[in-house]
Amino acid sequence: MTDYVLPVVYTLFVWWFSTGVIMLLDGLPRPTHRWSLFASTSIALVALFVLARGKNDATVTGVYVAFTCAILIWGWLEMSFLAGFVTGPRRHACVPGCSGWPHFRHAIEAILYHELSIIGCACAVFAATWDGANQVGPWTFVVLWSMRVSAKLNLFLGVRNLSEEFLPPHLAYLQSFFARRRMNLLFPVAVTVATIVDALLIQSAVAPDASPAQMAGDTLLATLLGLAILEHWLMVVPVPTAALWKWSLRGRRASAPAARP
């Protein structure tokens, strides 16, 4: 049982703590953001190096290291975006009444550089681990990337909870690309597909012939994907998700134009 409990607890802690640290740093005065980005960049580069060096380490320890390295690299992407350094060419809200394809294009323009940086990091992660026996790192990145794309699309199409409090004041204009609705047609499809994949990961983790490393890796990935699915459900149920990271939001100033209806 410990073989499954430990990766679940570890993933829960990493998910909760890393999210809180990023929001805490982003809530500090703007002059500190450059130092935070410098530190996260240095950490991400070291993580990429460690990921490459350990690509053939198919032990339980190697699996945990690869998972952690992928999270650290993703942390740089989150930090660079939320700090406002890597966003997109459009840095202002969409005009009222804009809809359809123009509205979608404007939304892409607002996050274009961020999306390109994700693609660049993905290429680096896959190149660093190519042909390696330990593929937990790139698969962790795939889970984070795919579920984040789904979350962005769902926010654009419309969900009940927009979680505006997580946006820093300098990115408040992004709320003009959110829509508040009970649900959209993409949501059930995205959640269903993710749940099926999660079930397959769990099945692989508990397979009788699974090695300790496979058990740990699949459990880490299944837990991470499960948390992403939970985050999706929190978009459509009336639950105050910010309470989980209250300690990291204290320095965040409330500012924000109203979201699109």
H/E run at residue 3: helix 2-26
Is 254 part of any domain?
no
Per-residue pLDDT 10s for the chain (261 aa) are: 677 899 999 999 999 999 999 988 988 888 999 999 999 999 999 999 999 999 999 999 999 999 999 999 999 999 999 999 999 999 999 988 898 999 999 999 999 999 999 999 999 999 999 999 999 999 999 999 999 999 999 999 999 998 887 888 899 999 999 999 999 999 999 999 999 999 999 999 999 999 999 999 999 999 999 999 999 999 998 777 777 777 777 655 443 443 333
What tokens were used for 111? 């996050």
Is 178 part of any domain?
yes
The DSSP call for residue 182 is: S
Is 245 part of any domain?
no
Is 261 part of any domain?
no
Is 253 part of any domain?
no
pTM given for the model = 0.92
Phi-psi region of 228 (alpha: psi -120 to 50; beta: other; left: phi over 0): alpha
What tokens were used for 86? 């890597």
CB atoms within 10 A of CB 51: 28
Is 244 part of any domain?
no
Is 171 part of any domain?
yes
Enclosing domain of residue 154: 2-239
Is 259 part of any domain?
no
Number of separate domains in the chain: 1
